[in-house]
Amino acid sequence: MLKNQKLLENNFVLFYLSDLCFAFEFLQINLFSFSSLCFLPLFSIIAALQVSISLNKVELSVGESKFFICTAIGEPVRLEWYNPQGERIVPSKRMSLHTETSRSRLIIYNAIIEDAGIYRCQATDASGHTEEASVVLEIYQRLTFQDVQSPQEFRHGETAEVVCDVISSPVPVVVWYYQDKEITEEHHSRFQVLANNNLQIHQVTKADEGVYRCEASVEARGEIDFVDIAVVVNVPPVLSVFQQSFNATADYQESVTFTCITSGSPDPMVTWHRKGQQLEPSEQYIFNRLEGGRSMLTIRNIRQGDGGTYSCKATNKAGSQERELFLKVFVQPHITQLKNVTAVEGSAAMISCVAEGEPLPDISWRRASDGQTFVDGDKSHDGRFEVRGRHGKSVLTISGVRLADLGRFDCEALSRIGGHQKSMFLDIEYIPKFLTNHTIYYSWEGNPVNISCDVMSNPPATMLWRRERFTISAEGTANTRVHSAEGKSVLEVTPMSDRDFGRYNCTARNNIGVRYQEFILAQADVPSNPYSVRLSAVSQRLATVTFMKPDSHGGVPISYYLVQYKEVGSQDWRDVKSHSVQTTVVLTGLEPNTTYEVRVAAVNGKGQGEFSHTETFQTLPIREPSPPAVHGQRGMGKAYRLGLVKQDDGGMPIVEYIVKYKTDKEEQWMTKLVPGANDFAMLQPLQWNTRYEVEITARNVKGLSEPTFYQFFMPQKPDITGKSREAQKLFSSFTLKKLNIFLL
């Protein structure tokens, strides 16, 4: 043990001298009495190859740049850097390398999120022996609002989502305000802040209009910002009519006035339509708009062609609503014969419509599914629809009937005096059709599986299951059961041996025909092995394992992943199950400065698959803690409260914080010891109108951290008469940055 301790001490001296020599060179300090040590052969101190990096852990915001210096002691012949993906770094526009015999500098320009991770510097000597050191680079994103729109408009009654796209790392805390009050679900039952930080308003109303404030903050950095968003609620038009149907006689200079009453926000625009065309003001069409949302269309000098359907349409940003009004011009034709028809798919259907009236009306057809009309002599582009009519009778013939033809057809008889309309229904009968292409199912012995046969047919089909020419009865067998419903039959199979796997046939039959569909029940297998196992965020006690899903799940879904790990040289593997099918697992309770092996296997209903390739990693050794972060606020009276934020504890709990403080005019320091479990230190009593300097150090069992320096100012003593209230508001504090320059 003493021999190993001596070797560690020699190594420490060697790293210390190497870093110190670099500091002299960087600061251009030429102290002959000490710098001569830098020219001593390193092998005269210790021959072992050793590597160190100037920094252990660095935090950068997106867009910043940083450099790292790697120093090798010994006789290296090659120094190389590796990125977090394990790839050797080659110089690029954003990454620069400057390498000398025993020193290499890596520069990262304009950092991006993807640059985060562990960077390794590896030194190789002439015999091929390698040593390496690593640095952890963490990247965070500053608080940024992304293309937030204002105003944002929503439709009355819908669930509105006010978008506030803000990013940062760590994830920001977002608070919403309305009318200078914070929005909480407790007091605003219809309001909810979603996981994506957007504000959701259920059944938004006109009363919800206004300016909303989206305020985002990152407590760890003290960042805060906000954006005001105007919310506008548009109310869809509501349209009503007093009278919907009107009668008139042609060629008697009669007039008819249609009236629509509308409301909505913004005020809807009203237009009038007939036969799909918008009507324009003319001598015949007179438009008027009155108070109370009333719009009127007057049709003057009614003629033969004025009969039929008119529509009043109200439109605004929130939508539109339309109402139909009917004008009947007498003598009205009358349809006397129109019946429903049933046809078989692929055959021909003949639909007959007979009408009477004076004068004798013309008959036309309208397909309700798409509104297409057919009149006497018409023939569709595909030649399937044809109309022939004579003396008040019209026959619509449909050749090669398709399922798409099913539905309502309207027959309309029109004369110069008026018109009449009736509807019929065309029903299509067809052979059964299977609705799914999912014909391969997986299972294993003892595991039941449902094979579903879904059918569409008219009239309804009867369905049977067959296995090797034998019909499976509705009651089932020892390991099969049949469950039936309209248009669906489910075969439940519980495989007991290899003979139960194979082909099953579903037969669907009606009076139009019969169809078959074959299903395959295949044996499931265990999953293949996961791959690309990676270790990240390795500390003294924790490590994160990530991996890629296996190429094959064996035919059935993966239930979870089994992660096994053990110390190198041990035979006892420890098991950790993933949460559901997540491909990231955190290992806890590790021992510091210990080498572990880890492997991963996937588990499905059939069982556990093979393990992945075994990966090795080493936890970090215990060391002194990092300097604590400090923030302060004035306490009551002559007291000041220092908030203590623990940083990296070096792998062992913080025992205590050593707080030293004095005025800026004194030389004597006062010391206060704070237990490591505390997160603040109260300094009192202090002097009014005085600036104080503070030095805070964290201690664990390994030793002391570097100190954190802090200053604050105690204001003047409050004036109880109220004449010095402004003086009470004078308060400032700031944290001094640590000095990274090593001075003799």
Q: Per-residue pLDDT tens for 233-266?
A: 999 999 999 899 998 877 678 899 999 999 998 9
Query: What pLDDT, on a 0 to 100 scale, did the predictor assign at position 331?
Result: 57
Least confident interval from 22-31, 44-53, 252-261, 573-582:
22-31
Say whether pLDDT at 728 is over 80.
no
- Span 548-580, pLDDT tens digits: 999 999 888 999 999 999 999 999 999 999 998
Tell whether domain 334-430 is in CATH 2.60.40.10. Answer: yes
Amino acid at 567: E
Say whether pLDDT at 223 is over 80.
yes
Say whether pLDDT at 299 is over 50.
yes
Tell whether domain 629-735 is in CATH 2.60.40.10. Answer: yes
Query: What pLDDT, on a 0 to 100 scale, did the predictor assign at position 468?
Result: 85
Say whether pLDDT at 23 is over 60.
no
Please answer whether residues 588 and 542 qualify as being in contact, where contact means their C-beta atoms are separated by less than 8 angstroms: yes
Instruction: With cut-offs at 50, 70 and 90, classify the pLDDT of residue 329.
Output: confident
Nearest Cα residue to 107 out of 57, 53, 59, 68: 68
Q: 699 by DSSP, 3-state: which?
A: strand
For the chain, the structural domain boundaries read 2-140, 144-235, 242-330, 334-430, 435-523, 531-618, 629-735
Tell me the percentage of the chain whose pLDDT exceeds 90: 64
What are the phi and psi torsion angles at 43 (to 5°)?
-70, -15
Compute the distance between CA of residue 119 and CA of residue 109 in angstroms, rounded to an integer. 15
Nearest Cα residue to 651 out of 702, 617, 588: 702
Query: What pLDDT, on a 0 to 100 scale, did the predictor assign at position 721?
Result: 57
Q: What is the DSSP letter of 127?
A: T
Q: 499 by DSSP, 3-state: which?
A: helix
Find how far residue 279's CA is from the centre of its chain: 48
- Mean pLDDT for the chain overall: 86
Say whether pLDDT at 45 is over 60.
no
503 CB-near residues (< 8 Å, 6+ apart): 467, 468, 518, 519, 520, 521
Query: What pLDDT, on a 0 to 100 scale, did the predictor assign at position 731?
Result: 36
Q: Which CATH number fits domain 435-523: 1.10.510.10, 3.40.50.12240, 3.30.70.600, 2.60.40.10?
A: 2.60.40.10
Query: What pLDDT, on a 0 to 100 scale, did the predictor assign at position 693?
Result: 94
Instruction: With cut-offs at 50, 70 and 90, classify the pLDDT of residue 334.
Output: confident
In this chain, the answer to whether the domains covering 2-140 and 629-735 adopt an identical fold is yes
Say whether pLDDT at 743 is over 60.
no
Query: What pLDDT, on a 0 to 100 scale, did the predictor assign at position 242?
Result: 84
Fold held by 531-618: Immunoglobulin-like (2.60.40)
- Span 582-598, pLDDT tens digits: 999 999 999 999 999 99
Say whether pLDDT at 729 is over 80.
no
Tell whether domain 2-140 is in CATH 2.60.40.10. Answer: yes
Helix, strand, coil abundance in the chain, percent, nearest 5 = 10, 50, 40
Class for the domain spanning 144-235 = mainly beta
Query: What pLDDT, on a 0 to 100 scale, did the predictor assign at position 37?
Result: 40
The string of DSSP codes covering 139-183 is EEPPPEE-S--SSEEEETTS-EEE---EE-SSPPEEEEEETTEE-
Compute the distance between CA of residue 309 and CA of residue 325 in angstroms, rounded to an integer. 6
Least confident interval from 43-52, 371-380, 511-520, 616-625:
43-52
Q: Specify the higher pLDDT residue, 19 or 523.
A: 523
> Which of 215-229, 236-250, 326-340 shows the highest mean pLDDT?
215-229
Q: What mean pLDDT is predicted for residues 495-500? A: 91
Say whether pLDDT at 99 is over 50.
yes
Tell whether domain 242-330 is in CATH 2.60.40.10. Answer: yes
Nearest Cα residue to 427 out of 450, 461, 447, 401: 401
Query: What pLDDT, on a 0 to 100 scale, did the predictor assign at position 730?
Result: 38
Say whether pLDDT at 419 is over 60.
yes
Query: What pLDDT, on a 0 to 100 scale, did the predictor assign at position 6?
Result: 36
